[in-house]
Each structure stands twice: as structure tokens, then as C-alpha cells.
Amino acid sequence: MTCLAVRDRFPEYALGTLIREERAEVERHLAFCAACRKETSELQGAASVLAFALRPAEPEGQLEPRVVEAVASVAARPPRRTRSVVAAVLAAALAVAGLGWGAIMAGRAERSDAEARTAERLMQDAFRRFEAVLVGRDYAPGTLADARRGTLVPTGDREGAGVAMVLVSRQFDDVAFAFVTGLPRKGAPYRVALVAGDGERLAVGTIRERGLDQAGSAEIARDFSDEELGRFSRVVVSNSSGRVVLAADVGAHSRAAGA
């Protein structure tokens, strides 16, 4: 966006009322435009005056030790390396793919119910191992508030299958992950997104044609440093025409803290 186009949004950006996508567009512009950063900073300063003008409410005395202890205890933990988490996710995904369940899942529409159930069980087993990798490596017990997983199933007569997981952490960045298989190359690029109950969408990423292997498989993971993913209940994969081809319900909570 140009400065002229993005400036129109600055008052709402400062007041915190832009919708998520608009806010992200503004921030992308601010990342490289010093003049606009200065202007938004001034407007944010003015907005914060509103907060300081409120009649004060007094927090209870016990809140201070709780806050200080919370920050100190999180800071005392070894620094979490985002890359290592995403790498762990992808490594686990490859191990899952190696089980061969993906290929079974992709063709399950033509297979018997028994085979479909076997595939489902394999997937669940794989995912339990997958969670264990994450919990064991980077998410200390108690910091992983919520791990949600779901099966990506084709919509209508579409092809493909997959699994999706959303990890919600109390102290660390949240992570969304999807493994897909059996996607036709002609439908690429595929866009993976999180969808909340109120229809809000948040992009996880794009799977391009070159990212799909022979079986139409790919994995994608994204670390969200400024987002809290707890409100998202579905993961959808859309093809190049924007049609949803795979969808997973990840609304069911699966408490993994301390697992």
C-alpha cells in the first residue's frame, strides 16, 4: 500500500478498531516507512491519553507478586527458539507421513469402512506421538494451554485429506499446523486458513504447486507471535479458485498441559 492509501487507516489503527487484516496491512507498511511510523506513533500517543484520563480503579495488593512472579518465571525458562518449534513440527509431520496413513486417508472414500477406521486410528496414534514431540521438546508442562487437532476431510466430491493442529500456549507463541495429502496439482496454490466461530479468518500460509510431492502431500506450519489462536475452531484449505476443498473441526479441546 502507498502512504496515501494507508494513512486513511491511521486514526483507527491508533484507536485499535481496525479489523485484523487491515491492521496487518498497516503494520507491513510501517515496517519500512519511517514517516508513517512517526505519524502513527503520535496518534497512538494521543489515543493513550484517553486511557490515562479514566478514573483509576485500584488493583488488589496480591496482584503485584502474581504478576512479578509470572514474568520472572517465564523469563527464567530457556529461551524458546521459534525455528526449533516449527522444525519439530515439520519433523514430526514427516514421521507421520512416513507411516503411510496419508495415502490410506487420501483414498479412503473408495475403501471399506474397516480400512477407514484403521486409517483413523493410525492418524490418531500418529498425532499423539506428534503432540508428545512438541510437549517434550519445547512446550514445558503447564505452558501448553491447549492442543487441538482435527481431520481435514474433503468437501463435496473434492479429493484429498489431511490433519490439522492448533497449539495454544500460555506463555509462548501459538502454532498452527496442517499436513495435507492427495491434493491435485491443478488446484494449486492452496491456501490454509484458521476460521473462528464468527467467521474471522487468519492465514496460516500457501501451499504452491512446487511444494506438493508426487502424492499431492505437503505440510505447513506457522508460528504466531502476536496472535492468540484459542478462538479458532476450524482449519480450511482453499484451492486457487477460492473454494474450500478440505476442512477440519479443531474446536474440541484436547488438554495437553502436563502430558
Partner 1 sequence: MEGLLVGNEEAVRSLYARFSRPVYTMGYRLLGSAEAAEELTQDVFLTAWRKAARFDSSRGRLSTWLMTIAHNLAVDRLRRETGVTRPTLVLVDEVPESMSDDEEEPLMERDVAIRALESLTDAEKRLLARAYFGGLTAREIAESDGIPLGTVKTRLRAALIKVRRANMDKERP
Which residues sit at the interface with partner 1, rule CB under 8 A? 8, 10-12, 14-19, 37-38, 41-60, 63-64, 66-68, 70-76, 171, 225, 228, 231
SS3 141: coil
The least CB distance from residue 72 to partner 1, in Å, is 5
In contact, 184 and 216? CB cutoff 8 Å: yes
Q: Which is nearer to partner 1, 18 or 204 (CB)?
A: 18
Nearest to 173 by CA among 227, 136, 137, 134: 227
Q: Which is nearer to partner 1, 30 or 165 (CB)?
A: 30
**What's the Cα-to-Cα distance from 160 to each of 2, 13, 24, rounded to whole Å?**
40, 40, 31
The least CB distance from residue 209 to partner 1, in Å, is 36
The number of angstroms, rounded, from the C-alpha of 187 to the middle of its chain's C-alpha atoms is 23
* Helix, strand, coil percentages for the chain (3-state, nearest 5): 45, 25, 30
Q: Which is nearer to partner 1, 73 or 240 (CB)?
A: 73
The least CB distance from residue 164 to partner 1, in Å, is 21
Q: Which is nearer to partner 1, 15 or 95 (CB)?
A: 15
Q: Which is nearer to partner 1, 76 or 252 (CB)?
A: 76
How far is the C-alpha of 202 from the C-alpha of 196, rounded, in Å? 8
Could you give the dihedral angle defined by the CA atoms of residues 77, 149, 130 and 168, in that order, rounded to the nearest 10 degrees? -10
The least CB distance from residue 78 to partner 1, in Å, is 12
Q: Which is nearer to partner 1, 69 or 125 (CB)?
A: 69
Q: How far apart are the first and last CA of the chain?
A: 45
The least CB distance from residue 65 to partner 1, in Å, is 9
The least CB distance from residue 114 to partner 1, in Å, is 42
